[in-house]
């Protein structure tokens, strides 16, 4: 398997309850064996000292991971991970919209002991930040793929969502986090993410494999009847998953006989699926995988999946962008809602996730439901986490930062990134007078009194 360029972490990642300090890591030179391109990016003067030794790079926040990953990854791979669709309006708004909400700190409140812990579907998370399901982690960590991020989540005590389009199998990820020394309450919190395929039998087999291996819940992504067109991928020739990577869950080593009668379109084995998602019929890779999905699915199919696939596990519908659909999801049997626009990689021109959240919260709570409402898209700071919680989110997920952290330092970097967000969240809570997540209410956040800044937000230069 090709060796991936990384920057090795030169420090020990703190446990979930330990303070975090801005650290420095040693930069490594690009490798010609990089996974997505035979030619490494050009070396910069920042890569080495005059004596030829690796320079030191400070990682103090989530943005630093993206900046460093961009300097290390081949351009086609970085742009596949970082880009959005069309004009990338929604991609940028996911992050920028958080700057249009402002905090109302309360003072003279006891905050000597601040806890970021939450309860979600009966499990304790040490932080309200979890890893959203997103595929093909091995593009950034070709040795361990999704296993690295799953182990990082187990270490910091939060939820890990495994994509149906992962590069490590459902079983491999479960094995990677298994630890019989853990107490039951601290057991790894793995969730599986599903799409509704044209091959319904395969859809159920995948979910049942996750159920059988102890996954705690299921995300059902419903916003991908079509993928948005990503021009960066077309320009870079990113029209297939690079060798040797595969969407391994479709390989089905047991080769169940129930798939043998599938039609050619209802691909039931790894080889046929590979010819689907790597068909190169379109200039952008994700368009080639569309033909696997059932584009005529309805809310009745959500009820079917809950009934037949995971009747005893919580089902969260991911990709909800309106209050109306949130209510329909609950009526179909969903146990939770996830506000998400697929990281700005679906419909360009859609609202940011944080701007949609209040509408969904009003609809769900107005109907008398206490179902958890999750959100992903644009979370880059602890203050973003607090704003989302104040607006009604139960927890928030991160996606792109996971890839960039993996590219920089694998499992340790992901654990560190999650701990940074937890530390920032804790500090923001303390300054706002919130000793626990329960103290974060809608009174803590507001729009700007004048309707918003007169000019776009630009970070001050030091």
Q: Among all residues, which ones are annotated catalytic? A: 342
Return the residue matching tokens 């959203």: 132
| 3-state DSSP of 143-177 | CCCHHHHHHHHHHHCCEEEECCCCCCCHHHHHHHH
Tokens standing for 92? 């940028």
Calpha distance 211→217 (Å, rounded): 8
How far apart, in whole angstroms, are the C-alpha atoms of residue 452 and residue 100?
Answer: 6
Length of the chain: 462
For residues 293 and 194, is the Cβ–Cβ distance under 8 A? no
State the maximum Cα–Cα separation within the chain, in Å, rounded to a whole number. 69
Alpha helices in 178-242 (DSSP H): 200-212, 231-236
- Tell me if 248 sits within 8 A of 209, measured CB to CB: no
Our CA angle for 79, 418, 180, nearest 5°, is 115
- Strands 23-26, 56-59: pairing is antiparallel
| Contacts (Cβ under 8 Å, ≥6 apart) of 70 | 78, 82, 404
- Distance CA(436)–CA(426), nearest Å, equals 9
- Of 58, 166, 157, which is closest to residue 403 (Cα–Cα)? 166
Name the region of 136 (left: φ>0; alpha: ψ -120 to 50; beta: rest): left
Kindly calculate the radius of gyration of the chain based on its CA atoms and give it in whole angstroms: 22
Cβ contact 134:195 at 8 Å = no
Instruction: Identify the residue whose tokens are 């200039």.
Output: 283
DSSP bridge pairs for 249: none
What six digits make up the tokens of 83? 């880009």
SS3 content of the chain, % helix, strand, coil (to 5): 40, 15, 45
């Amino acid at each position: 398997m090709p060796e991936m360029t990384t920057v090795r972490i030169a420090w020990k990642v703190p446990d979930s309850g330990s303070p975090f300090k801005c650290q420095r890591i040693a930069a490594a030179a690009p490798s010609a064996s990089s996974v997505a391109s035979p030619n490494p990016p050009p070396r910069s003067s920042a890569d080495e000292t005059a004596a030829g030794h690796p320079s030191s790079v400070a990682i103090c926040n989530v943005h630093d991971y993206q900046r460093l990953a961009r300097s290390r990854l081949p351009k086609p791979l970085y742009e596949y991970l970082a880009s959005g669709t069309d004009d990338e309006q929604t991609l940028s708004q996911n992050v920028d919209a958080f700057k249009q909400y402002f905090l109302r700190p309360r003072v003279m409140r006891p905050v000597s002991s601040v806890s970021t812990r939450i309860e979600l579907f009966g499990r304790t998370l040490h932080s309200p930040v979890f890893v959203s399901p997103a595929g093909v982690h091995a593009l950034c960590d070709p040795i361990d793929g999704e296993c690295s991020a799953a182990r990082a989540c187990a270490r910091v005590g939060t939820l890990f969502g495994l994509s149906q389009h992962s590069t490590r199998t459902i079983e491999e990820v479960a094995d990677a986090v298994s630890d019989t020394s853990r107490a039951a309450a601290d057991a790894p919190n793995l969730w599986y993410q599903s799409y509704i395929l044209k091959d319904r039998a395969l859809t159920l087999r995948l979910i049942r494999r996750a159920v059988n291996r102890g996954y705690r819940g299921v995300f059902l992504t419903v916003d991908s009847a079509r993928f948005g067109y990503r021009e960066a991928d077309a320009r870079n020739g990113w029209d297939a998953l690079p060798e040797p990577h595969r969407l391994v869950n479709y390989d089905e080593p047991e080769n169940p006989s129930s798939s043998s009668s599938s039609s050619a379109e209802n691909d039931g084995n790894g080889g046929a699926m590979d010819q689907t998602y790597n068909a190169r019929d379109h200039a952008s890779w994700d368009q080639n995988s569309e033909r696997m999905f059932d584009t005529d699915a309805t809310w009745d199919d959500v009820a079917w999946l809950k009934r037949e696939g995971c009747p005893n596990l919580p089902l969260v519908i991911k990709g909800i962008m309106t209050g109306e659909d949130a209510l329909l999801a609950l009526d179909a049997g969903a146990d939770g809602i996830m506000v998400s626009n697929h990281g700005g990689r679906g419909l360009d021109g859609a609202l940011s996730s944080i701007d949609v959240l209040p509408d969904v919260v009003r609809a769900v709570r107005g109907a008398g439901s206490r179902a958890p409402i999750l959100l992903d898209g644009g979370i880059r700071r602890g203050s973003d986490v607090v704003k989302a919680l104040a607006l009604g989110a139960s927890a928030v997920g991160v996606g792109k930062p996971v890839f960039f952290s993996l590219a920089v330092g694998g499992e340790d970097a992901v654990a560190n990134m999650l701990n940074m967000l937890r530390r920032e969240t804790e500090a923001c809570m303390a300054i706002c007078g919130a000793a626990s997540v329960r103290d974060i209410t809608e009174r803590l956040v507001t729009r700007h009194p004048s309707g918003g800044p007169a000019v776009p937000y630009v970070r001050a230069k030091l």
